[in-house]
Structure 1
Amino acid sequence: MGTVTVLLFASLAERAGTRRLELPLEEGATVGEVRDRVVAQFPQLAPAVPTLMYALDEEYAREDAPVRPGSTLALIPPVSGG
């Protein structure tokens, strides 16, 4: 078992009060499973889950993508700008 670094951006970081987490990683864990553990720790993030995007090791990823030990997973809420 290794660890995964989880980065929170924009409103997620504001709601959680942190931009970075280190979590133990269970073998065979997916992006969605890691996200669910973050939401269990910070329930105030739950409303954002349906619109989140994910980047795994700096490449966009789907919920079912496997997460390897030592990976970095970014949880990215929708952003707007002009």
Structure 2
Amino acid sequence: MSQQSSIEPKPGMTMESNIGFVLKVAIASGVLSAAIKYLGPYLSIPPTSAIAGICVVLPTLVLLAVFARRLYFQRHTPNQSE
């Protein structure tokens, strides 16, 4: 029995497209970081522990909602291959 390697790329995925994606994420991260650093002081958000907690927990909750929605539609969409 031969096992298929789990390292093989998905069809259509090339090293160039992966590098492009990584560069896009790095640039977006840098822009967001600069915006927070330089534009953040202009926002009138009080420095409270509740605000800090919201900033820490909110990204996790957003991703939870996105993945839950994807899972819901993945399970409740009829299989097209049948």
* TM-score exceeds 0.5: no
Q: TM-score range by the shorter chain?
A: under 0.3
The structure richer in strand per residue is: 1
Q: Which has the larger radius of gyration?
A: 2
